[in-house]
Amino acid sequence: MQRWVKFCKYLRQEGWEPVVFAPENADYPSLDQSFQKELPKDLEVLRGRIWEPYAAYRKLTGAKSTEVTEISSGKKTAKQKLSLWIRANVFIPDPRVCWVRPSVKKLKAYLADHPVDAMVTTGPPHSVHLIGLQLHKELGVPWIPDFRDPWSRMYYLKYLPMTGLTRRMIADMEQEVLDRSNAVLTCTPLVQKEFQAQTKTPVKCITNGFDQEDFMGPAPETDKHFNITHTGLFAADGNPLTLWKVLGEMAKADTGFAAALRLRLVGKVDKEVLEAIKAAGLAENLIALGPCDHATAVREQRAATILLLPLRNDPQYRPILPGKLFEYLAARRPVLGIGQEDGAMAQVLDSTKAGITADWDNTAAMRNFIEEAWRQHREGGVPPTTGDIGPYSRQATTHALAQLLDQVHNKKANED
């Protein structure tokens, strides 16, 4: 949730006072408490108790987590199949739908005594938009749903055993949210284009970004190693098998490269990724640091030789911009992106001259990029990237958000 932590951090500078509503007892796959210091100390935060089915799911199936990769993985037990059918066709549009009723009740009571000028809901989970929809219908508060990911066209939904009725219900919910809202917000231009073709409501794109304060001061000293670094979740369905093959072949052909190469994985890594790296003969080059706080991830990004950013290998991932991309830009280290070469990430890397995007099977592009960086490394170091990344700063994106809030508020005031 860096997106809204950073918006809340900078909104006051733009003349808006944020009030945050969040669940009191939600089930999250991971938490980074270090972000608390980013928020204004006197920020008003409302919390409400909710119910969600994840604990029951883990008890029934024996699963340790509820990651998306469990939905898209091939082999499933009978219990997992039953649980996925229930998740798909009972909890509509998603397992957080039980947040809606208690949240609407609590917020109606709050807003009766504390009126606000505008309201934003952010998803996924997209059931949160149903909270905004109901409050907008009953109270008339100007409302902007923020889509951090697509909804009915999200790539992993095809792995859920949804009935035709369920899919129609989700599409209808999405359409009502788009049509009823005062403006729609997305964080990628390709999703913006899709939504704008779907509704007459204005659709604005404000990407994720980087906070310059996180990257202040001199960069950490780099060591002698050729560090290819990945931060954040490394999912099995984004496992770059071609890259591991290229690196394994280069290591066998060049003892200097083999001795210098380090694959630094910072964050949760699916076991399939680790197994593929070892199978490519790179076990000695692997350094898996595991989950860490945000400050550590930033240090690792800035100290990298190359930053690695593989997307999930799915055609529907083409319009998605991963949040870490923008911090990679701020780290000023060259980025090797792996994904659709005409996708949203490729467009950003190209426009900022921050790196390249190679298709998952584009062996030549990966090899050429790494060989050039290896040559530079031996000759004195890989230079920093220098493209214009200003539009992606958190200050710039918050300014754009404030302008959108001004527009919906002023339009409502003029109508009244």
Tens-place pLDDT, residues 32-77: 777 888 888 899 999 998 888 777 666 666 666 555 455 666 677 7
Phi-psi region of 31 (alpha: psi -120 to 50; beta: other; left: phi over 0): beta
C-alpha neighbours within 13 Å on the C-beta side of residue 260: 21
* Cβ-proximal residues to 36 (8 Å cutoff; 6+ apart), any chain: none
> 0.85 exceeded by the pTM?
yes
Q: Which residue has the tokens 């999405």?
A: 174
| d(C-alpha 376, C-alpha 367), whole Å | 14
d(CA 103, CA 23): 8
Residue 375: both structure tokens together: 């040559």
Q: Is the dihedral of CA 85, 89, 93, 98 positive or negative?
A: negative
User: Which one-letter amino acid corresponds to residue 307?
Assistant: L
- Domains defined for the chain, CATH in brackets: 2-209+394-415 (3.40.50.2000), 217-390 (3.40.50.2000)
d(CA 18, CA 72): 37
What is the residue type of 279?
A
Beta bridge partners of 121: 145
Beta-strand relationship, 335-338 and 306-310 = parallel
The Cα–Cα gap between 392 and 322 comes to 13
Judge whether 129 and 93 are in contact, CB under 8 Å.
no
Structure tokens at 117: 């000028």
Residue 401 CB coordination number (10 Å): 23
Which DSSP state fits 393? B
194, 150 in Cβ contact below 8 A? yes
Q: Closest Cα partner for 317 from 210, 157, 206, 166?
A: 157
Q: Please provide the distance, in angstroms rounded to a whole number, between the alpha carbons at the two ends of the chain.
A: 34
Radius of gyration of the chain (CA): 22
State how far the Cα of 121 lies from the Cα of 133, in Å rounded to an integer: 9
According to the model, what pLDDT value does residue 68 have? 46
Cα separation, 323 vs 150, in Å, equals 14
Q: Across the chain, what does the average pLDDT equal?
A: 92
Which residues, given as ranges, of the chain have pLDDT below 50?
Answer: 68
pLDDT at residue 333, rounded to an integer: 97
207, 204, 140, 137: which is closest to 176 by C-alpha? Answer: 137
Q: What angle do CA 109, 112, 115 make, to 5 degrees?
A: 125
Question: Tokens in use for 327?
Answer: 């911090």
* b/e per residue 43-62 (b: at least 16 CB within 10 A): eeeeebebebbbeebeeebe
Q: Which two tokens stand for residue 193?
A: 């284009």
The closest of 54, 68, 71, 30 to 267, measured between CA atoms, is 30
Per the CB < 8 A criterion, the answer to whether 106 and 46 are in contact is yes
Give the integer Cα–Cα distance in Å for 416 and 412. 6
